[in-house]
Structure 1
Amino acid sequence: MKGNVREPGGCGAAAGFTMVELMVTVAIIGILAVVAVPAMTGLINNSRLSGLSGEVVSAVQFARSEAVRRNARVTLCASADGLACSNAADWSRWIVLAPDNTSGGTDVVLDGVAPGNAQVSGPAGRIVFRPSGLVVSQAQLTACVPTTNPENNRRIVTVGLSGSPVTTRANGAGTCP
């Protein structure tokens, strides 16, 4: 080393990135973000929708099993307050009502709520399970997230006469019923 001049790669050489290297790195991160964010949003919405439809299916299965276990009619219905049936098509909150075998009254044995902006709609009446586990009449419940990502933003849970739920996907064009 002569004087104050440093040789490249020598001891004490300046380390770091050039401005061009930093700009290329920022550009690559920006491109990845543009590609990844919509895919991640679709993944999150699809997961929320699957979870909500799973909760609806679980409520149907629970009501059916309670009817068989208690050997009595059990009702699954929409509720505004979590205490009584509301006879509304908005099922964003639902309850399972079963007879209390000790007092002769009716107990709320399950209270479910749709999270966030997710929605559940269904019949304006109730879904009644007989002691055999069969339903009085077939019904459909629709779990929905108001978004176009994913395209199939609805899950339709059909409760057949046997009382068993079947879930299908549907395209709601970004809207909920």
Structure 2
Amino acid sequence: MKSFCGNNQLMTRHGGFSLVELLVTIAILVILSAVAVPGFQGMMASSSLRAATNDVVAALAQTRSLAIKEGGRVTMCKSANGTACATTGDWEQGWIIFVDSVRNSPWTNASVDTGETVSFYTQALQGNVVVRGNSGASQYVSYSADGLSRQLNGSSLAAATIRVCSTSSAIADNQRARDIAINSTGRVTVTTAASVTSACAAPS
């Protein structure tokens, strides 16, 4: 807008924001960020949870398939280095799959023995995800040549569950965990665990 002042000089209003307009804009951005950021964090956490669950399910299927193909015992165990089974920590540190032709007492932990070769290695998971098994799957999951899940001593595996869980505060407790159950036939089912806190306790 143009106007004339008393001395007949032409005055022009310069473009830009006033201080009030700038403060209003900043306030709106702060409000939008407060609404959008938690939603984005929840989306990312859910994506990591879904990816990790798919990784574990795929690894179990791979282990079972290899056992049938090789006609012998194949084991999947926790592993941080890709060469040996870990006896501490949880599954999120990574895991290996190997043809387990030699199994020695005690039967509590799997091991890659002389002459055995690691077939597959999955590195540590990312995205605030923890993976914990109950007593039947805290250290390893093993399949025999007929595709049945077995303990290292040859006994049938009654029941085993591996829980994939997000520690993110952006996910509700009734959505933060997936339980992967393995029955004695080797069949795998995935369910959403109810009321799991961010501590992500192992399944019972």
TM-score range, shorter chain: 0.7 to 0.9
| Structure 1 gaps, min length 5 | 7-11
Instruction: Give a deviation string over 1:9-58, Cα, whole Å, max 9, x none.
Output: xxx64222232222222111111011111111111111111111111111
Equivalent position of 2:97 in the other structure = 96
Equivalent position of 1:9 in the other structure = none
Aligned residues: 169
Tell me how far apart the structure 2 counterparts of residues 26 and 164 of structure 1 sit (CA, whole Å): 55
| Structure 2 gaps, min length 5 | 102-113, 151-156
For the residue of structure 1 that corresponds to 2:76, the secondary structure is strand
Equivalent position of 2:164 in the other structure = 143
TM-score, normalisation: structure 2: 0.73
Equivalent position of 2:177 in the other structure = 154
Tell me how far apart the structure 2 counterparts of residues 105 and 172 of structure 1 sit (CA, whole Å): 42
Aligned identity (percent) is 31
TM-score, normalisation: structure 1: 0.82
Equivalent position of 1:173 in the other structure = 197
Matches within 5 A, 1:1-150: 3-6=8-11, 13-88=13-88, 90-92=90-92, 93-98=94-99, 105-112=115-122, 113-115=124-126, 117-122=128-133, 123-136=137-150, 137=157, 138-150=159-171
Residues 85 and 15 (structure 1), Cα distance of their counterparts in 2 relative to 1, 3 Å cut = same
For the residue of structure 2 that corresponds to 1:106, the secondary structure is coil
* Aligned counterpart for 1:164 among listed residues 182, 187, 191: 187
Tell me how far apart the structure 1 counterparts of residues 176 and 53 of structure 2 sit (CA, whole Å): 11
Residue pair 2:45, 2:127 contacting (<8 A) in 1 also: no
**AA aligned opposite 2:25:** T
Residue pair 2:66, 2:74 contacting (<8 A) in 1 also: yes
Instruction: Give a deviation string over 1:55-103, Cα, whole Å, max 9, x none.
Output: 1111111111111221221111122432222344622221111159xxx
- Over the aligned positions, Cα root-mean-square deviation in angstroms equals 2.3
Residues 33 and 157 (structure 1), Cα distance of their counterparts in 2 relative to 1, 3 Å cut = same
